[in-house]
Every structure is written in C-alpha cells, then in structure tokens.
Amino acid sequence: MKITIIGTGYVGLVTGACLAEIGHDVFCLDVDPRKIEILNNGGVPIHEPGLQEIIARTRAARRITFSTDVEASVAHGDVQFIAVGTPPDEDGSADLQYVLEAARNIGRTMNGFKVIVDKSTVPVGTAQRVCAVVQEELAKRGLAGSDQHRFSVVSNPEFLKEGAAVDDFMRPDRIVLGHDEDEAGQRARELMKRLYAPFNRNHERTLYMDVRSAEFTKYAANAMLATRISFMNEMANLADRVGADIEAVRRGIGSDPRIGYHFLYAGCGYGGSCFPKDVQALVRTASESGHNLRILEAVEAVNNEQKEVLVRKITSTLGDDLSGRTFAVWGLAFKPNTDDMREAPSRRIIAELLTRGANVRAYDPVALNEARRVFAIDLHDAPEQLARLHFTSTQNETLTGADALVIVTEWKEFKSPDFLHLKSVLKTPLIFDGRNLYEPEAMTELGIDYHSIGRPYAHPSELPADV
C-alpha cells in the first residue's frame, strides 16, 4: 500500500520506518528542511534503538522517501497519517494547530478517496474538527460532496514507549482503530485492516471502536500509567517517614496479578513528551465539559513536587547554601534509551542546584547535545548559572573532586559502577540516588553515605524518635 506520514518526530518516523520495513511504500513529509536533509543524508534526528538500521534498509530498498513537498505527499498515499506534534497550550489543552494545518493541506490538493488517520495524541472530538477542515477546503475547490473526493477520518492512537518504540510497533499488544459506521468509514476500516494485517496473523490485535472512544483510550492509558507512578512516589515519600522499604512494598503489591509490577518504581518523577502533557490535556478536556478529574489533578501535583525530592535530600544533608560545592550528575534524559529532554526531572534538579550556588558536572550516554541546547534556553537569563554547568564525555569525568554524586536517569551503565574508584575520587563518599539503583545495605558496607527514594536508613536506630 502507498502510505503518507505527515511529521517525522518520534511517532511519525517510527511509524513510517516500520511500515516500510514490512513492505509498504512510505512517503514521510516534514516542513522542517533540516530534518529532511538529515534523513536523506542517512542520519536520524532522534535517538531510538534500531530505528537508524531500519531506515537504512528501507531507503536502500526504495520503500521510504523523505521530503518537504506537501502536494507530492498528498498525492502519494491512499492512507494519510497525521503524526505531528500536539504541544500543550498555555491553559494545558493540546495545541491542534499542526494537526489542523495538515488536514487543510490534504483538503487543498487531494484527489480520490483518502483515509486520514489521526496518529497524533489528540483530544476527544479532534477527528470531527479534522473532517470539518477538510470539507471546508474541498468546498473552496467546489468539490464538496464529490464522489471522487470522498474521505474518512479514523483515530489510530500510538502506544509507543520511547527507547522501545520500534519493538512496540513491530510487536504491538493492541492496535486501536476508531472509525465511523457509514460507507466511507467501513471502506476506511477495510484499508486499515489490510495495512495492519501482518501484525494480526498469529491472533487478532486490532480493537475496533467508534472514533471518540479511540481518541479517549490513548489519554486514559497514559493517565493510568502516570497515576501508578505518582501513587508509588507518594508511597515512597511516606516510606521515608515511617522507615519502610518501598522496594519491598513494590514486590509485595506487584505480586498481586490484579496490580502487577509495571510502572510501580519510585523515583524523582516522570517526564517526557506524553505523560505530562496528556494528563494536563485530559484535565483540561474535563474542565471544558464541566467536570473535575480530581485524581489526575493530584497526579500532576505529586509529580511536580516529586522532582524536588532529591534536592530536598541534598539540602537536608549539606544545607540550603550549596555555594562552592560541586555535584556529579549521572543521567539527563527523562528515561533511558532516548535523548528526549522534555519535562526531564534533571532540568528541575540541576536548575535548583545552580540556583543554590552549586557547580554541576553532568553526563548522559546519548542526550548531551540535546541537553546543551535545552539548558542554554532554560538558563538564557541566568548566564552566571549556565557558566557553572559543565557537560562531560564520560561518567567518570563527572566524579573527580565532586562533593556528591546525583543519579537522575537509570541508564544500564550506571547500575554497576566501580564503587572503590567512586569513593577514591569523590571528596566525600556521598550518593543521592533518584532511581534506587543500589542496595542501601551494600552501600553502607562499602562506607558510602547513600540516600535513595523510599528506602530505609542504613541504621534503624537513627530513625526519628516519633516513628
């Protein structure tokens, strides 16, 4: 099948590359000529394991094309995936300007039947708005109601985890497809069924439903996962106060099959492109409908506060004034296996350390370039603070002469460091671990002062007297 992908971000690029990998003829459109130049020169503008190899194979096989030519993109695909960004607006709602502009471009030049797929994460009712925009453009061309210019808008939300997006796409646990029941909607369903047929050979993974339910499903899924994270962080903060071990608690509750282990790890808060903006957008949708989502409002509040937990642990140990102190920071991306810095806890933590007068030496396996760009923007009005932030090329470079190590992202290479070397190069053997990578008892035996999230004190006798 001939497929057009509008937008070459995480969702669009992974979708396009994977569909080309299974044999479809894919045209990827982006209005950013810099991205298209990178892709046409054999590069990839994002870090996603396995993606570059797939793009190289499919480009060599001439099954994927990258271009800024809007008219050619509309002419190419029988199925037009809209996979552009939907950033949060000032009021927290999803900004649909790029989605609607993509729809306008389709309506301006389309000829023949088109399936228009909302792949971007969009609020309930977006498909109706997309349909109206396309109808408006067809009317301007005098083609409203033309049998030769019929189309159907379907909702096909993505459920990709950054860092595992290729595997998630190629081995989906479900494919959600929302479509209308009219003739055009049924025709769209059949085309999408053909498109996804390779993923349904062992068993049917596609869930068919109405369009609004499909749109809602994506937000509800991310809201549930964000809720689990904030719930566990709340429990971890209480465990700190009462002397319980949140890791033991996690194993205790996760063994219940009704609960499970996924997204039950305590830490320093979630970030990324999905959970923060999708929770905000769902809260905003509810508000516009005259309803308050009190649980999700709390989820967002807990997450915002959780990003301060490590800094509070640092200041309770070293004092509020951190002038002259140096901190080694391991991990900048919001999660491992990505260079995504959007809403990353590291941004808040490092900003707080710099505000309190500290020097920071930071390292991340893949996000250094993106981190330099992001912090240059974040600290644009604070050049003196930016001057105290240094990025290193290895994790060990951050350590020499630092007063403490702060772990923010749980990259695999941080899980088994040389602790004897670490002790020898730090001014003091002090670790603040925002991802609970190590065992407190083992750290105590090594003579390391170890502060984690929701783990017990090394010596129970040191618990507060009122516990």
Is 121 found in the same domain as 268?
no
Confidence of residue 87 (pLDDT cuts 50, 70, 90): confident
Confidence of residue 144 (pLDDT cuts 50, 70, 90): confident
The overall average pLDDT reported for the chain is 94
pLDDT of residue 467: 44
DSSP 240-290: HHHT--HHHHHHHHHTSTTT-STT----S---SSSHHHHHHHHHHHHHHTT
Range(s) of the domain holding residue 403: 226-462
| Tens digit of each residue's pLDDT (9 = 90 or more) over 350-398 | 999 999 999 999 999 999 999 999 999 999 999 999 999 999 999 999 9
Is 62 found in the same domain as 29?
yes
Write the burial class of residue 456 (CB in 10 Å: 0-12 exposed, 13-18 middle, 19+ buried): buried
| Tens digit of each residue's pLDDT (9 = 90 or more) over 10-25 | 999 999 999 999 999 9
Is 296 found in the same domain as 246?
yes
Q: Which two tokens stand for residue 396?
A: 């060990």
Number of structural domains, the chain? 2
pLDDT of residue 146: 77
Is 330 found in the same domain as 231?
yes
Q: Is 274 a catalytic residue?
A: yes
Look up residue 459 and give its amino acid: H
Is 310 found in the same domain as 383?
yes
Of 146, 177, 209, the position where a domain reaches its end is: 209
Has residue 145 got a pLDDT over 80?
Answer: no
Is 301 found in the same domain as 188?
no
Look up residue 458 and give its amino acid: A
**What b/e sequence results for 53-70 when a residue is b if at least 16 CB atoms lie within 10 Å of its CB, and e otherwise?**
ebbeebbeeebbbbbeeb
| Residue 217 in domain | no
Catalytic member of 18, 28, 131, 274: 274
331: closest CA among 315, 318, 345, 317?
345
| Residue 216 in domain | no
**Measured between alpha carbons, how far is 411 from 8 in angstroms, rounded to an integer?**
26
Has residue 446 got a pLDDT over 50?
Answer: yes
For the chain, percent of residues with pLDDT exceeding 70: 98
Is 282 found in the same domain as 184?
no
Is 103 found in the same domain as 40?
yes
| Residue 215 in domain | no
Is 99 found in the same domain as 53?
yes
> Mean pLDDT across the stretch 207-226?
97
Say how many CA atoms lie within 13 Å of 93 toward its Cβ: 13
Of 209, 242, 262, the position where a domain reaches its end is: 209
Of 179, 209, 239, the position where a domain reaches its end is: 209
pLDDT of residue 461: 42
| Residue 257 in domain | yes
Strands 359-363 and 389-391: parallel
Rg of the chain, C-alpha, whole Å: 25
What are the backbone dihedrals phi and psi of residue 16, each rounded to the nearest 5 degrees, phi first?
-60, -45
Is 107 found in the same domain as 25?
yes
| Residue 31 in domain | yes
Has residue 464 got a pLDDT over 70?
Answer: no
| Tens digit of each residue's pLDDT (9 = 90 or more) over 285-314 | 999 999 999 999 999 999 999 999 999 999
Q: Which residues pair with 258 in a beta bridge?
A: none
Is 161 found in the same domain as 230?
no
Confidence of residue 177 (pLDDT cuts 50, 70, 90): very high
Write the burial class of residue 129 (CB in 10 Å: 0-12 exposed, 13-18 middle, 19+ buried): middle
| Residue 318 in domain | yes
pLDDT of residue 108: 96
Domain with residue 152: its CATH number is: 3.40.50.720
Is 249 found in the same domain as 141?
no
> Mean pLDDT across the stretch 230-251?
96
Confidence of residue 466 (pLDDT cuts 50, 70, 90): low
| Residue 330 in domain | yes
| Residue 268 in domain | yes
